[in-house]
Amino acid sequence: MIQLCGMSSAALKDYMKQKGQSAFRGDQLAKWVVSGTPIEKMSNLPAALREEMRGEAVTNPVRVREIFESKLDGTRKFLFELPDGNLVEGVLMRYRHGCTLCLSTQVGCRMGCLFCASTLDGCVRDLSPGEMVGQVLLANEILAESGERVGNLVLMGSGEPLDNYDNTVTFLRLVTAPDGLNLSARSISLSTCGLVPMIDRFSGEGLPVTLSLSLHAPDDAIRRRIMPIAKRYSIRETLDALKRYIAVTGRRVIIEYILIGGLNCEPVHARRLAGLIRGMQCHVNLIPLNKVSERDLLPATDRQVDAFLEELDRSHISATKRREMGNDIQGACGQLRRGAIHGMEKQLRGEQS
């Protein structure tokens, strides 16, 4: 099935041309697609054309399976269903500067980081550009009720964006296109665990998004304990790739650091981290650990978090603690999808017994 929202405006015009339609029809189609309108409701296209299109295409291949809203802060978490029945998650957060959608780029993840529930069942498959755009369109549809739209994107849901490189880059070009969703690349953050060759490749794409590195350790020994990627690329190699990205794009990068009790959260670790990144054009985002029941990692205490932050401040490192949102709705990535999958498996076993 053709995914119209995964096509550029030029590609949509070509699609109309192949059907014997004028470029004007292509412009009409592109406007409908950006709004997420189903084919049958594209009222200014001929009925016969719409009927033909419905047999081979869909505006948005993604649908909302469930929505959970936090009673604490209004954060909404989506369980999105893909055409093949696979599930991914998205989180819609409201900030003073607007609405931010955290979206997924893969079904599951192959990176194996111990602190993340998304990777527990491995990577099932990559998402297509249309499946990524579709998540944004559905969030916009819901926000339209209050006269809002998604203004910022965070590629930090399930999956490693740079492991699905071509589709992720196509997605970024679609959502930043002036005749597409017209989002600023500077309002988009892409999180990576540190695929060094892909970081270097991405720096040449002309997409000045904010690159976020999941570092989570001040030395290679600790990082190898929680992140398999650290066995392939050292911290020094990874930070050197970030520096090259900064040099090419002029963009400040974000260093993500999950604080794990008994592992990486003491002032000595903060001093080592400061020594690694001193002089870099970066900001440290300290992240409280979301407990994953299948792992034995424990979150740092509030006292340890505050002491870590104070130590970075004394070292003149720009740093903040990430605001926790959606804690009452399984806000951590991968928890909701995994719960839904295992719930369905239990139900199926019950029906078969």
Spell out where 243-336 has E strands. 253-259, 282-288, 319-321
- How long, in residues, is the chain? 353
Q: 53: which residues sit within 8 A by CB, 6+ positions away? A: 39, 45
Considering Cα of 223, then 87, then 327, then 134, what sign does the dihedral take? positive
- SS3 category, 190: strand
Per annotation, catalytic residue among 145, 265, 333, 345: 333
Per annotation, catalytic residue among 5, 89, 193, 265: 89
Q: 47: which residues sit within 8 A by CB, 6+ positions away? A: none
Closest CA to 91 of 107, 99, 81, 102: 102
Distance of CA 270 to the CA centre of its chain: 27
Is residue 123 part of the annotated active site? The answer reads no
Is residue 333 part of the annotated active site? The answer reads yes
Annotate 217-240 with DSSP letters as a single string. -SSHHHHHHH-GGGGTS-HHHHHH
Phi/psi for 64 (5° steps) reads -85, 120
Spell out where 156-240 has E strands. 188-192, 210-214
Tokens of 86: 């696979």
CA 91 – CA 104 distance, rounded (Å): 9
CA 351 – CA 45 distance, rounded (Å): 46
CB 70 within 8 A of CB 121: no
Catalytic residues: 89, 333
